[in-house]
Structure 1
Amino acid sequence: MSSTEFVEMLVLDGCFVLEILRGVAEKEGFEKLGYSNNDPVFSMNRWIHSIRNDMMMLENQLPLFVLERLLRLQLGRSKLNNYFKLLVSAFFEPLAPASEAGKISCKRGLVPVQEEELRDRVEFKKRETGRFWDIEFKNGIMRMPRLLIHDGTRSLFLNLIAFEQCHLDSSNDITSYVIFMDNLINSPADVGYLHYCGIIEHWLGSDAEVADMFNRLCQDVAIDNDNSYLSALSKEVHEYYKTRWHTWCATLRHNHFANPWAITSLVAGVVLLLLTFAQTFYTIYAYYRPPHTSSKQ
């Protein structure tokens, strides 16, 4: 491809992308931009979902400075302020997997990988924030924002991971998050428990598909764990697990205090045990220390 052909491709694709962005984000959409109701592309909303997913693919992305330059020419403005960022955010918002948002391999621990099910490790609670990567761990409780998983989530994560891997000046936050979730989820039961806690919501066919998605996303991907934004949290989790007492408490809490019926059964069992102990004690005591009887003379 010659330089001229390459520039023509950037201009043509850039204009198309800008029409899509403005048509979706602005009030009255494509009609305001001059497209008829029977336009073969811009009048068919079903195409927008496919185009949005294609635009997320690394090989289809255009440099932002090209789009910004074209938008300035189109609108006749020298400055766009935050208008371009608002267009991009509004267009890709449906893909956001959040609420209303030394080298290590992917299989090594940002969290301790154990054979027990997830519900037997640490207590999980949903954190009310729109940033799906905003995770905290304190006093044995992992607080995680809600994560919405749909048919475009896998492609979204794959391309964001590829972007971070290809740009040395980029952060590795998305890669770190996905590796964290991969180490956290080992089975469909783990996905089910996170769903029960309000952390994971998915539109896939089964919990097994969600588990498989996270277990495959970071194959052959490596990051510097010391530079991960989750490295401090990882150390806290490891320190917490050095004391086995915490694991026993978590197991006891989930096995015997998970619901009112379990608590009732446990209390009844403890009371029954105490009564049995008391009965046994007094029986033995009476045998070795019989009561004194007084005789009349």
Structure 2
Amino acid sequence: MSGESDHYTFTVAAEGKHSWSSRMKDRFKQKPTLLRPSAGTKSCTIFRAPKSQEESNPNAYKPHVVSIGPYHHGKEQLKMMEQHKARVFFTLLDRTSDDDDCAGLDDYFTVVASLETDIRNSYSEDLNCESADLIEMMVLDACFIIELFRVGSFSTGMIPEYEDDPLFLTNWIVAALMIDLVLIENQIPFFVLQEIYALSRSPYDGDRSINVLALMFFNRALQRPEEHLHRYFGYPITHLLDLFRLCLVGLSIFDRRSQEVEVDEELLQLTPSVNHLLLVGIKFEPRKSENLIGVVFDHGVLRIPPLNLDLLTTSFFLNCVAYEQSYHYCSKHVSTYVVLMSGLMGNVADAAFLSQCGIITNLLGPEKEVARFFCDLAKDVQFDFKDCHLVELFGKVTWYRRNKWRMWWAGIKREYFGSPWSFISAAAASILIVLTVIQAFFTVFTYYDPKK
């Protein structure tokens, strides 16, 4: 009996071992689809928003008018714009059909088909769509974006076919499109836009690159000189969000020297609130700068470029931080700026002070919304002083705050020279003390004067 039991146990163990082996072999064959292993490569540039950020701002990463790319394709609330994409493509083909140098319909699909592998590798998730569907999506989306840029660029002039088109002339639609085009989950690879633009070039475009044409469209909100936009031709761009980021951040993101500054590690502390810095004598001034992150600290003055905080810029910050936190090969300039501003605006009074200084133009509503926005966003930022373009600034501010003599003098100025009345009181007290000393001197002098 015992022998039969041992044999039964051995048989079950053997079968169990075989069963687990088969089971795990099947699991080993399954490849992750929601975050592919290749998502960490340099070629993968389009991501879902990080879950922590999405939970804090669930609607900040989802398009409201148009879907671009596969992540939100086919959603019910975006069908209106989807119906217009084919019409816009047909308008483009019809306008260029008389030009022998322009491409025909098949040329667009042939070019994009040759890029299919690179397109799929650009997304962090497996794209669950057939080749024909993906190619059609890319062609229609790219043509729609490029025609939108052509119509919306101030210097391009109106294309006759769109003179009365509500799609490109209705203010709320254009404003919504501008925001949707800088969402991290609503992107197509920039090389697709470049190829489609090259095929569809026309006299309307002049000698402008797709980079400049895109920035001229966004310039409705940026308000930059046109010659400033031309500086961003020829630099590596991954998608429209990256291009918008480059324009606001500036070409300093390519300057590695700014990240090679050596600072005493004891001085590497986050900048405290505006009120705290005012107490130690630090002043705040707006700084004229071509880029958003051009913050400098010099001789006790923190100079910050003015910031218009509206729906577009808040959307940009949210999505740009998500991009920088997701793409390993991307600099963290905007994330660092957000950490800095979050530290400065500890409460409503700090945000109100920066508004009074002309550093922030608040179009969001109450000042508390500004402080809350940067505070909430900075919570999700993985920050490293050593990989930070403002490392020298953080060090200088900390050194300035630690100087006891300067803190003492700042307290004296705040106590006795903070307002006209306190100054008058201090001056009167000083004069009284001086007169008392003089009176005492002459009293003693008269007493001991031998000529008396």
Q: So what's the TM-score if we normalise by structure 2?
A: 0.56
Task: Spell out structure 1 runs of 4+ moving beyond 6 A.
Answer: 97-100, 290-294
Cα distance in 2 between the residues matched to 1:276 and 1:200 = 49
Matched, 1:111 2:270: yes
RMSD: 3.2
Among 264, 268, 279, the alignment partner of 1:120 is 279
94 and 120 in structure 1: CA distance in 2 versus 1, 3 angstrom threshold: farther
Are 1:119 and 1:193, in contact at CA under 8 Å, matched by a contact in 2?
Answer: no
Counterpart of 2:178? 52
CA distance in 1 between partners of 2:293 and 2:432 (Å): 47
Q: 2:361 aligns with which of 201, 205, 212?
A: 201
Cα displacement (A) at 1:68: 0.9
5+ long unaligned stretches in structure 1? 102-108
Equivalent-residue separation in structure 2 for 1:168 and 1:120 (angstroms): 39
* Counterpart residue number, 2:114: none
- Deviations along 1:136-193, whole A, 9 cap, x unmatched? 1122211111111112222110111111112211110000011011111101111122
Counterpart position of 1:15: 143
Looking at structure 2, the residues matched to 256 and 199 of structure 1 have their Cα atoms a distance apart, in angstroms, of 27
Larger mean CA deviation between 121-130 and 251-260 belongs to: 251-260
User: Are positions 1:34 and 2:148 aligned together?
Assistant: no
Q: Deviations over 1:36-71 (max 9, x none)?
A: 41x231231221111111111100112111111111
Q: Note the 1:127-206 alignment, pairs <5 A.
A: 127-206=287-366
The structure in which a higher percent of residues are strand is 1
Aligned to 2:311, the other structure's residue is in SS state coil
Q: Distance in 2 between matches of 1:175 and 1:17?
A: 28
Indicate the residue corresponding to 1:106 in structure 2: none
Counterpart CA distance in 2 for 1:250 and 1:27 is 51
CA contact (8 A) 2:150 2:156 kept: no
Q: Considering only CA atoms, is the larger Rg found in Structure 1 or Structure 2? A: 2
Query: Partner of 1:274 in structure 2?
Result: 434
Please state how far the C-alpha of 1:234 moved relative to its aligned partner.
0.8
User: d(CA) in 1 for partners of 2:207 and 2:331?
Assistant: 25
What displacement does 1:20 show? 1.2
Distance 1:230-1:131 versus aligned 2 partners, 3 A rule = same
2: CA distance, partners of 1:53 / 1:164: 18
Residue 24 of structure 1: CA displacement? Answer: 0.8
Name which of 17, 24, 32 aligns with 2:152.
24
- Which residue identity does 1:111 align to in structure 2? L
The residue aligned with 2:243 is: none
> Distance in 2 between the 1:53 and 1:165 partners?
20
For structure 2, the residue ranges without an aligned partner over 5 or more in a row are 1-128, 229-247, 249-267
- Does structure 2 retain, via aligned residues, the 8 Å contact 1:35–1:42? yes
Deviation at 1:123, TM superposition (A): 1.1
Aligned position for 2:69: none
Q: Report matched runs for 1:187-266 at 5 Å.
A: 187-254=347-414, 256-258=416-418, 263-266=423-426
The aligned amino acid for 2:132 is: T
Matched, 1:67 2:226: no
For the residues of structure 2 that align with 1:172 and 1:166, how far apart are their CA atoms? 10
Aligned amino acid, residue 22 of structure 1 = R
Q: Are 1:90 and 2:249 counterparts?
A: no
Q: SS at 2:380's partner residue?
A: coil
- Given that 2:179 and 2:315 are in contact with CA atoms closer than 8 Å, whether structure 1 keeps it comes out as yes
Distance 1:42 1:162 in 2: 29
**Cα distance change of structure 1 residues 173 and 97 upon mapping to structure 2, 3 Å threshold:** farther
TM-score normalised by structure 1 residue count: 0.82
Structure 2 vs 1, CA of residues 143 and 70 (structure 1 numbering), >3 Å: closer, same or farther? same
Q: Distance in 2 between matches of 1:59 and 1:255?
A: 52
Change in 2 beyond 3 A, CA 1:254/1:7 = farther
Whether the 8 Å CA contact 2:138–2:188 is kept in 1: the answer is yes
- The alignment partner of 1:48 has SS state of helix
